[in-house]
Amino acid sequence: MRVLMSTYGSRGDVEPLVALALRLRELGAEVRMCAPPDFAQRMADVGVPFVPVGPSASALTASAPPVSSFSQRAADLIANQFEAVAAAADGCDVLVATGMVPAAAGALSVAEKLGLRAVSVTFQQLTLPSPHRRPLAYPGRPFPQGVTDNRVLWDLDAQSNNELFGEALNINRTANGLPPVADVRGYVLGDRPWLATDPVLDPWEETPDFEVVQTGAWIEPDTRSLPSDVEAFINAGTPPVFVAFSTMHMHASADTVQLAIEAIRAQGRRALVSHSSTGIDDQDDCFFVGEVNHQALFRRVAAVVHHGGAGTTTTATRAGAPQVVIPQLADQPYWASRVADLGIGVALEDPTSESVSAAVKTALTAETRARATEVAGAIRTDGAEVAAKMLLGATAG
């Protein structure tokens, strides 16, 4: 079987597909990937044939284009999908689509045109309509004040998707001999979307509207050793606390990272700090690290202070590392709330010197460590394998 994967987004949208691709390949499938050009080297490293789509995702995010250009950028993404995915799909049997709504809509339309089986996947449930929670609002399109009914809010979300992406999608569909779509979000999700998250960390509550297939998170085991200088720092004293804030997903100030370092020092601990967090003082008890194996690192640290991205949260939870999550946007507050609800760390949306200090102190307690260890033992490790077998028809799906 030949499988085509398509996404447009950040590393968090690509790495799960890498995990799935490698499992599929182990089961005898051929796999190729459509993704932003940023990930050409990553695909080369794992030996997955790669087709670049659209402009650099990281450059687009860093440029912070105005909200007024959102619809035009979406139109460009859809056109890119029709061009690149159609060419990449030659000889393929199934498409796995994820990423930004307009990109997924474009890729799924190509699959429809070519008669390919398609699976729509999301890596966080906040894109799935549910009466149990409210949707995320698009930038520049806040929900009306005073509206609290989740079903009404999801109806407004569907309206936003249609207004932002409907015209561009249907222009491309019509040009390719496809009928127009009246409900963009509904088209992308279909009647049986896959949710590639862990059911303990991210439990899905069933709704009568459609069926969700939750596979577990798709994470590729990382076997890389930690750099020797990182090993030396860790071994030089009690386990340090790791601090990392993603520059692509979060606009955390150096002040916030400095607050975390000061709180760590106040507890008599040392800090490991990601190089993505810049402008921080450099002292003997504060060591800076670049790209490292987080799966290995998180098992060696006393706690992790981070932004609340899905990947970082899942990796820390699987490692049994207590967490302090300081979210600012998108799905980060949701993951922070899950960490707090599970008792494996602290969610902190308004960081001050006092609140960060108290949060780090709580994360470093024996009680939080014990709870984090307990939850880690319940996290599934076979999500990518489950999904690969379902995709290939080896198990009921």
Q: What is the pLDDT of residues 5-28, one digit of tens each?
A: 999 988 889 999 999 999 999 999
Query: pLDDT band for position 87 (50/70/90)?
Result: very high
Q: Which domain holds residue 315?
A: 228-376
- What per-residue confidence (pLDDT) applies to 250? 41
User: Tokens 């799909």 belong to which residue?
Assistant: 89
Query: pLDDT band for position 395 (50/70/90)?
Result: very low
DSSP β-ladder status, 94-97 and 30-35:
unpaired
- What per-residue confidence (pLDDT) applies to 72? 82
- What per-residue confidence (pLDDT) applies to 9? 87
- What per-residue confidence (pLDDT) applies to 247? 52
Q: Report if residue 397 sits inside a domain.
A: no
CA–CA distance, 6 with 98 (Å, rounded to integer): 6
- What per-residue confidence (pLDDT) applies to 256? 83
Q: Kindly tell me the sign of the dihedral angle through the C-alpha atoms of 349, 352, 358, 361.
A: positive
Q: Report if residue 66 sits inside a domain.
A: yes
Global confidence as pTM: 0.91
Are the C-beta atoms of 263 and 292 separated by less than 8 Å? Answer: no
Query: In three state form, how does the secondary structure of 277-343 look?
Result: CCCCCCCCCEEEECCCCHHHHCCCCCEEEECCCHHHHHHHHHHCCCEEECCCCCCHHHHHHHHHHHC
- What per-residue confidence (pLDDT) applies to 188? 97
User: 259-316: per-residue pLDDT in tens?
Assistant: 999 999 999 999 999 875 555 555 788 999 988 999 999 999 999 999 998 889 999 9
The answer to whether residues 242 and 131 belong to one domain is: no
The answer to whether residues 248 and 344 belong to one domain is: yes
Are the C-beta atoms of 323 and 375 separated by less than 8 Å? Answer: no
- Judged by average pLDDT, the poorest of 82-91, 188-197, 204-213, 268-277 is 268-277
The answer to whether residues 156 and 120 belong to one domain is: yes
CA–CA distance, 246 with 274 (Å, rounded to integer): 9
- What per-residue confidence (pLDDT) applies to 280? 58
Q: Using alpha carbons only, how large is the chain's radius of gyration in Å?
A: 21
The answer to whether residues 56 and 117 belong to one domain is: yes
Higher pLDDT: 280 or 242? It is 242
The answer to whether residues 154 and 264 belong to one domain is: no
Higher pLDDT: 54 or 334? It is 334
Token pair, residue 346, equals: 């602290």
- What per-residue confidence (pLDDT) applies to 252? 54
The answer to whether residues 165 and 35 belong to one domain is: yes
Q: Report if residue 89 sits inside a domain.
A: yes
The answer to whether residues 112 and 53 belong to one domain is: yes
The answer to whether residues 210 and 350 belong to one domain is: no
Strand partners, 117: 94
Higher pLDDT: 328 or 389? It is 389
Strand partners, 52: 35
- What per-residue confidence (pLDDT) applies to 394? 44
Q: What is the DSSP string of 346-395?
A: EE-SS--HHHHHHHHHHHTSHHHHHHHHHHHTTS-S-HHHHHHHHHHTSS
The answer to whether residues 272 and 313 belong to one domain is: yes
- What per-residue confidence (pLDDT) applies to 138? 87
The answer to whether residues 88 and 187 belong to one domain is: yes
The answer to whether residues 92 and 175 belong to one domain is: yes
The answer on pLDDT for 397 being more than 70 is no
The answer on pLDDT for 235 being more than 90 is yes
**CATH code, domain with 212:** 3.40.50.2000
Token pair, residue 374, equals: 């307990």
Count of CB atoms situated within 10 Å of the CB of 224: 10
The answer on pLDDT for 127 being more than 60 is yes
CA–CA distance, 265 with 97 (Å, rounded to integer): 45
Are the C-beta atoms of 361 and 269 separated by less than 8 Å? Answer: no
User: 376-390: per-residue pLDDT in tens?
Assistant: 999 999 999 999 999
Mean pLDDT of 236-262: 79
Q: Report if residue 38 sits inside a domain.
A: yes
Q: What is the mean pLDDT of the chain?
A: 91
- What per-residue confidence (pLDDT) applies to 278? 53
Q: Report if residue 87 sits inside a domain.
A: yes
- What per-residue confidence (pLDDT) applies to 396? 40
The answer to whether residues 21 and 145 belong to one domain is: yes
Instruction: Single out the residue of 182, 185, 61, 30 nearest to residue 120, CA to CA.
Output: 185
Mean pLDDT of 66-88: 84
The answer on pLDDT for 68 being more than 90 is no
Token pair, residue 45, equals: 């490293």
The answer on pLDDT for 180 being more than 90 is yes
Instruction: Single out the residue of 343, 321, 334 nearest to residue 243, CA to CA.
Output: 321
User: 35-52: per-residue pLDDT in tens?
Assistant: 999 999 999 999 999 999
User: 335-360: per-residue pLDDT in tens?
Assistant: 999 999 999 999 998 899 999 999 99
Q: What is the DSSP string of 72-121?
A: HHHHHHHHHHHHHHHHHTTT-SEEEE-SSHHHHHHHHHHHHHHT-EEEEE
Query: pLDDT band for position 76 (50/70/90)?
Result: confident
Residue type at 99 in one-letter notation = G
Mean pLDDT of 160-170: 94
- What per-residue confidence (pLDDT) applies to 66? 67
Looking at the 3D structure of the chain, how many domains does it have? Answer: 2
Token pair, residue 115, equals: 């008669």
